[in-house]
Amino acid sequence: MLWLALKTLFHEKIRLAITLIGITVSAVLVLVQVAIYLGSMGNATAIIRHTDADLWVTSRNIQTFDFALPFSEEVIDRVRAMREVARAGKILLAYGNLKLPDGGLEQVQMIGYNPDTGLGAPWSMRVGRAVDVKGGNFMILDESAEPRLGRLSIGSNWELDFANKPQSFKLVGLSQGIRSFTTSPIVFMDYNALSAWMADVGWPGQTAFIVAKLRPGADASRVAAALRRVLPDNDVLTREGFIAKSVEYWTIETGLGMAFFLTALLATVIGGSIVGQTIYASTIEHLREFGTLKAIGARNGEIYQIIFSQAVIGAIAGYGLATAIVLSAEGALQRAGVPFYLSPALFGALFVVLLLACLGSAYFSVGKIRTLDPVSVFKG
């Protein structure tokens, strides 16, 4: 009966075109929304995910990585005192302004890391090495910031302002694909350089994160609970807990996730109803033919098959087109700085969602067939 479904679909070319455009547009919308959402969340958690640590100690009531407040560096001693902690390190985070060649200012996220251990270091380098920032006012920028900051030539000097105490930094390397959620460019620098600068502006001996790597076999959540008792003025999060917390903050607290979700949901519903609507119209138009099928001995199930195959064919064709469109636009979107994350699993999952929407709305037509009286086929 798949054969009849295909024949009927392709016989009505205009209807087929409208259906395909409808599903394709809706599938593109869903894919783009979800890819941007996942891309944004990927950026929001990139440093947590790429730092080799099991536990994160932060300021009290932290909401997300980007909003860390400074606290005393001495906390690291109590972290190191835990038997299960193999090693611990510090990462600094502060916001400054980068003076652009044209005189403008751009807010940047400054991350101070230990170039010897590499904790908090950029993980994907285009030019230079992470260790190059060691021992002075050296910085690494991400190549993706070039459209905003202007030409990023290695060896160029840039003025960075932090709490009205500007300093000059030399660009020694370029990272690749490392972006913050807030889209502020990230400036990677030596922990000691940023720490000294903070002391200079009135925050001596402060850090933003203490990260710990546990000994093999240690249970991260148990150690986190123990540390919480020792550090009542800090939050202690497991790596997964911190990722979840950051995602939850951007998704729920800001309403951003809801906005993405609603758009994606709406697009799914619209795509599904376009399919449902065209299948319904086609079913009504072919009601006499379906009645004839019943009269000559087709079972209801066989007729439902025709209707559901039309929905499946529509979903596959529309989604296929949408996939092609999204994949061909992916590169351009990435270059334009749009956070975008796609994976085969994502394509698969969203296809299932769209397919269910199409099948669900095709179901409305099934009722028409069930109650169709085959005697009606004798009418003139």
Contact status, residue 254 vs residue 237, Cβ threshold 8 Å: no
18 lies in the site for another protein, by CB under 8 A: no
Interface residue with another protein among 196, 269, 298, 366 (CB under 8 A) is 298
Question: Which CB sits closer to another protein, 292 or 334?
Answer: 292
Question: Which CB sits closer to another protein, 20 or 267?
Answer: 20
Candidates 209, 251, 232, 221; CA nearest to 58 is: 209
Candidates 202, 237, 246, 211; CA nearest to 113 is: 211
Minimum distance, C-beta of residue 367 to another protein, in the bound complex (Å): 18
Minimum distance, C-beta of residue 277 to another protein, in the bound complex (Å): 19
Minimum distance, C-beta of residue 18 to another protein, in the bound complex (Å): 17
CA 52 to each of CA 47, 211, 212: distance values in angstroms, whole numbers, following the listed order: 10, 9, 8
Interface residue with another protein among 103, 232, 296, 328 (CB under 8 A) is 296
Per the listing, tokens 């009966």 go with 1
Question: Which CB sits closer to another protein, 8 or 33?
Answer: 8
Minimum distance, C-beta of residue 355 to another protein, in the bound complex (Å): 23
| CB < 8 Å & 24+ apart, contacts of 217-224 | 218/54, 218/84, 220/54, 220/55, 223/54, 223/55, 223/82, 223/84, 223/85, 224/55
380 lies in the site for another protein, by CB under 8 A: yes
361 lies in the site for another protein, by CB under 8 A: no
305 lies in the site for another protein, by CB under 8 A: no
Question: Which CB sits closer to another protein, 252 or 375?
Answer: 375
Question: Which CB sits closer to another protein, 11 or 335?
Answer: 11
- For the chain, strand residue ranges (E) read 55-59, 71-72, 85-99, 105-113, 125-127, 138-142, 157-161, 167-175, 186-190, 206-207, 209-214, 234-238
Question: Which CB sits closer to another protein, 183 or 292?
Answer: 292
Contact status, residue 84 vs residue 215, Cβ threshold 8 Å: yes
CA 303: distance to chain centroid?
42
Question: Which CB sits closer to another protein, 10 or 116?
Answer: 10
- Count of residues touching another protein (by CB under 8 A): 26
Interface residue with another protein among 100, 196, 281, 377 (CB under 8 A) is 377
> Phi and psi (nearest 5°) for 177?
70, 25
370 lies in the site for another protein, by CB under 8 A: no
Question: Which CB sits closer to another protein, 172 or 312?
Answer: 312
14 lies in the site for another protein, by CB under 8 A: no
103 lies in the site for another protein, by CB under 8 A: no
DSSP string, 110-137: EEEE-TTT-TT--SSEEES-GGGGTTTT
Question: Which CB sits closer to another protein, 2 or 262?
Answer: 2
3 lies in the site for another protein, by CB under 8 A: yes
Interface residue with another protein among 165, 299, 335, 370 (CB under 8 A) is 299
- Quote the tokens at residue 267: 């697009």
- Beta-bridged to residue 190, according to DSSP, are 113
Contact status, residue 143 vs residue 175, Cβ threshold 8 Å: yes
Binding residues among 236-295 for another protein as defined by CB under 8 A? 286, 288-289, 291-295
CA 174: distance to chain centroid?
23
* Range in contact with another protein (rule: CB under 8 A) among 67-75, 163-171, 222-230, 369-377: 369-377
Contact status, residue 111 vs residue 93, Cβ threshold 8 Å: yes
- Binding footprint of another protein on the chain (CB under 8 A): 3-4, 7-8, 10-12, 286, 288-289, 291-299, 302, 374-375, 377-380
